[in-house]
Structure 1
Amino acid sequence: MYIEQGRKGELGMWKYILPPVGFLLLMLFNYLLSSGVDVEQQMQIMVKNLGKPITFIVVLAPFVAFFGGLLFWVKFVHQQSIRSLTTSRKKIDWKRVFFTFGVYGLFIIISTIIGYYLSPEDYQINFNVKSFILLFITALILIPIQTSFEEYMFRGYMMQGIGLAVKNRWIPLLITSCIFGLMHLGNPEVTKLGLIIMVYYIGTGLFLGIITLMDEGLELALGFHAANNFFQALLVTATWTAFQTDSILIYTGEPGIGLDLLFPVLVIYPIFLIVLAKKYKWSNWKEKLLGKVEEEPQGVLEE
């Protein structure tokens, strides 16, 4: 069982508390700094001074240090293997990672094409071969690091730590989903759309947590999250989004508020849950999502 894999290292409350608290304090500091500031305007000033490629790197570069620091802490302080932080299987299943990356990436491509043809007046074509190639290479390197850090921190490290502490599954699922959503409070999208967007962020965290617990590993969440950020960065951005890139399209329309934000949470994510459940033959949903954490590890799953 996935949460129980946390016992395969040196336990200790202070060991589990320090990395999340440190990261969340940093996020709180960033949020307080941005309070009362026009984040969209500040982003545009940065783009004007540095250019989009450098701005993109500046935004994502800290996650290289965050991810490296978390893996170092797990490996050398907890003395837990990265495999046991990732999955309950005997080895990391990369086919699962690439499956959700490919399927959700294809969905984003198709939905972007449909959105453009339904409302071409809301988009500006921004394609430049050299700029796009540079963006593709940069995104291919940095975005998987950024999304992997978030998955390992929230659905991995915190999910296992909280689960072992409270000895059930639903509390860490809810806590990590809410904290994941609140982490995005400093994003310019929040300023533009309002706090209603927290429904989307928290709902996304809940979806990623559910597939992690049902599949007993992070692989599906790693692929899905990477696809979301990678293809969005390549295909379409706006002046008010966290990613400022030389994407193929620039959205110039007014963003929808309400059903547009709820649609992924209420429709797209449930459909993906059904697809993944059928493909990987998930069962015993109540126990895996709401049940107790076993007192002793149950071993690893077979391939």
Structure 2
Amino acid sequence: MFIEQAYKVKHEWWRYAIGILIVFVAAIIGQIPFTAAVLLKGGFEILNMTESEMLRVLDSNLSLFLLLLSFAVALVGMFLVIRLLHRQTIREATTSRKKVDWKRIFFGFGLVAIFTIVGTIIDYNLRPEDFLWNFRLGPFLGLAVIAILMVPLQTSLEEYVFRGYLMQGLGVLSGNRWFPLLTTSVIFGSLHLWNPEVDKLGYIIMVYYIGTGLLLGIMTLMDEGMELALGFHAGNNLVGAMLVTADWTAFQTNSILKDVSDPTGGGMELVAPILIVYPIFLFIMARTYRWKDWKHKLFGKVTPPESLKFSEEI
């Protein structure tokens, strides 16, 4: 069982508190190059800029790289916390299987990538007036290199923090599965509160972010491992960054298309997929990997493995 693996390692509550603090500090350290570059280019005027304005101070590709660098540094911090503070292997923090299943990672990636590409093509043909052709070969190739190398690091950090580290930690501390599922999803969604999309679309978009956290959490608990969530999250962000950008999104990229529509008040368009598309994703995965016992895996108790109980009794 995925959550129960935390019983086999050092899992006192204070270790998780210190671990999150270390990852947070690592992320701040990783932001120093971006802040320094923006300060050198824009001067102290950046103190009066919004996040979106700061992102436009630098070249789009450079800005994206430096932004994602902080996630890469934080991911290193996360791995050090897992290995040194908890004495846990990265595999045990990733999956309950004997080894990481890369086929599952690629399946999750491919599923959301195909949906995103097909959905974008349909959207473009239904309302072409809302898009500009933004493709320029040189900048796009630069984006492709940066995105392929760095976006999976960004999404992996978020998955290891929420669907791995905190899912296991809160699971063994609370003794059940529903608490870590709901808590990690709410925290994951709430951290997007400062995204420029919230200013543009309103707080209704928080339903989308929290709902996405629930989707990834359900994948992890039902599949007893993070592989599907790792692939799905990477595919969603990577393909999205390369296909479409907009002036009001968190990532400003040299993508193929630029959305020039005014989405104000259209947040419900992002809530609908949670009720329609996300269940379809779960259905496909459930049929593919033969998920069973939904009630226990999502709401059941978390107890130490029998082998661990036996060793403790001895």
Please give the TM-score of this superposition, normalised by the length of structure 2.
0.88
Q: How many residues matched?
A: 290
Distance in 1, Cα, partners of 2:115 & 2:2: 28
* 8 A Cα contact 2:110 2:235, kept in partner: yes
Match of 2:38 in 1: none
Distance in 1, Cα, partners of 2:19 & 2:204: 29
* Matching residue's letter, 2:97: R
Describe the superposition over 1:94-144 as per-residue Cα deviations: whole angstroms up to 9, x where unpaired: 000001101210110000011111111000101011111111110001100
Is 1:209 the equivalent of 2:217?
yes
More divergent stretch after superposition (257-266 vs 196-205) = 257-266
* Secondary structure in 1 matching 2:167: helix
| Alpha-carbon shift at residue 21 of structure 1 (Å) | 4.7
More divergent stretch after superposition (72-81 vs 211-220) = 72-81
Distance in 2, Cα, partners of 1:277 & 1:230: 24
Describe the superposition over 1:70-99 as per-residue Cα deviations: whole angstroms up to 9, x where unpaired: 001101111100000000000000000001
Describe the superposition over 1:167-226 as per-residue Cα deviations: whole angstroms up to 9, x where unpaired: 000000000000000011111111111111100000000010001000000000000000
Please give the TM-score of this superposition, normalised by the length of structure 1.
0.91
| Alpha-carbon shift at residue 254 of structure 1 (Å) | 1.2
RMSD: 2.1
Match of 2:111 in 1: 103
Gaps of 5+ in 2: 32-47, 309-314
Structure label with greater radius of gyration: 2
Describe the superposition over 1:2-32 as per-residue Cα deviations: whole angstroms up to 9, x where unpaired: 001112322222111123356569999x9xx
* Secondary structure in 1 matching 2:258: strand
Match of 2:131 in 1: 123
Structure 1 counterpart of 2:273, from 258, 264, 269: 264
* 8 A Cα contact 1:16 1:161, kept in partner: yes
Distance in 2, Cα, partners of 1:196 & 1:217: 30
Match of 1:17 in 2: 17
Gaps of 5+ in 1: 31-36
Is 1:220 the equivalent of 2:228?
yes
| Alpha-carbon shift at residue 59 of structure 1 (Å) | 1.6
Q: Structure with the greater relative contact order (CA < 8 A, sep ≥ 6): 1 or 2?
A: 1
Is 1:89 the equivalent of 2:97?
yes
Describe the superposition over 1:226-249 as per-residue Cα deviations: whole angstroms up to 9, x where unpaired: 001001100001000011100000
* 8 A Cα contact 1:184 1:201, kept in partner: yes
Distance in 2, Cα, partners of 1:231 & 1:221: 15
The aligned runs of 1:240-279 (5 Å cut-off) are: 240-255=248-263, 257-279=266-288
Match of 2:297 in 1: 288
Percent identical across equivalent pairs? 50
* Matching residue's letter, 1:136: A
